[in-house]
C-alpha cells in the first residue's frame, strides 16, 4: 500500500466507505494468537510467510471473509476481525515513524502517540479535523492499537448503521 502515510491532522474525517479495496489490496499480518484462533475455527484459511501469519485470499484476490452486500464489500468476521484489519488505514506508534512529528502527534490518556493514515484509503477526507474525528475516531484507533478495545464504532462500516450490523452469510471454506 502507500509508502508515505500522512499525519492524522491532515484529515477532516475518515469513514469506511465499504469499497473493499483494503481487503483486496492489503494482506494483514495476524498475531500468533489470531492465526491459531483462525486455524482452529475455520481450518486452512491461514497462510504463513516470513512476516508471520495471514488470511489467505479467494480466487478473486479478496480476503476469504469479505462479501458483497448492497453495493458494499463487508467483513464476514466482524466479531473476530484481526487487529491489523481493525487498524487499517491507521498506523499508531509511540514515536514518529514517517516524520511530521508535530502534525502526527496525538495525546491520549496523558501519553503521546504518533498517528498516520495510509493515503490509499478512499475514505479519507482532507481538511481541518472535525470534532468527531478528533474526539472519537482517532482515540478509537489508538485504543485498538493498545489492545484495550475490541468493539468498533467509528473505525469500521457495519453496512447498515454504526449501531446495527448486516446479516452475515455462513462462510464455508473448502
The model's pLDDT over 77-102, given as tens digits with 9 standing for 90+, comes to 888 899 999 999 999 999 999 999 99
Name which residue leads in pLDDT, 8 or 171.
8
Supply the pLDDT for residue 3. Answer: 59
Alpha-carbon dihedral angle through residues 163, 145, 147, 113, given to the nearest 10 degrees: -110
Question: For the whole model, what pTM was predicted?
Answer: 0.84
Distances, alpha carbon 48 to alpha carbons 37, 59, 81, 86, in Å: 14, 18, 18, 20
Supply the pLDDT for residue 158. Answer: 61
The model's pLDDT over 108-155, given as tens digits with 9 standing for 90+, comes to 999 999 999 999 999 999 999 999 999 999 999 999 999 887 788 888
Amino acid at each position: 500500500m502507500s509508502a508515505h502515510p500522512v499525519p492524522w491532522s491532515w484529515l477532516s474525517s475518515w469513514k469506511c466507505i465499504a469499497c473493499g479495496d483494503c481487503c483486496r489490496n492489503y494482506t494483514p499480518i495476524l498475531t500468533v494468537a489470531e492465526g491459531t484462533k483462525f486455524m482452529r475455527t475455520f481450518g486452512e484459511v491461514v497462510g504463513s510467510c516470513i512476516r508471520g501469519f495471514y488470511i489467505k485470499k479467494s480466487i478473486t484476490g479478496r480476503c476469504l471473509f469479505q462479501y458483497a452486500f448492497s453495493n458494499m464489500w463487508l467483513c464476514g468476521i466482524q466479531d473476530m476481525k484481526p487487529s491489523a484489519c481493525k487498524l487499517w488505514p491507521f498506523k499508531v506508534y509511540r514515536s514518529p515513524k514517517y516524520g511530521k512529528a508535530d502534525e502526527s502527534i496525538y495525546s491520549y490518556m496523558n501519553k503521546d502517540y504518533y498517528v498516520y493514515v495510509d493515503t490509499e484509503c478512499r475514505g479519507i477526507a482532507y481538511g481541518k479535523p472535525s470534532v468527531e474525528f478528533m474526539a472519537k475516531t482517532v482515540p478509537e484507533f489508538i485504543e485498538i492499537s493498545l489492545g484495550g478495545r475490541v468493539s468498533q464504532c467509528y473505525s469500521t462500516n457495519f453496512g447498515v448503521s454504526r449501531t446495527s450490523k448486516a446479516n452475515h452469510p455462513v462462510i464455508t471454506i473448502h
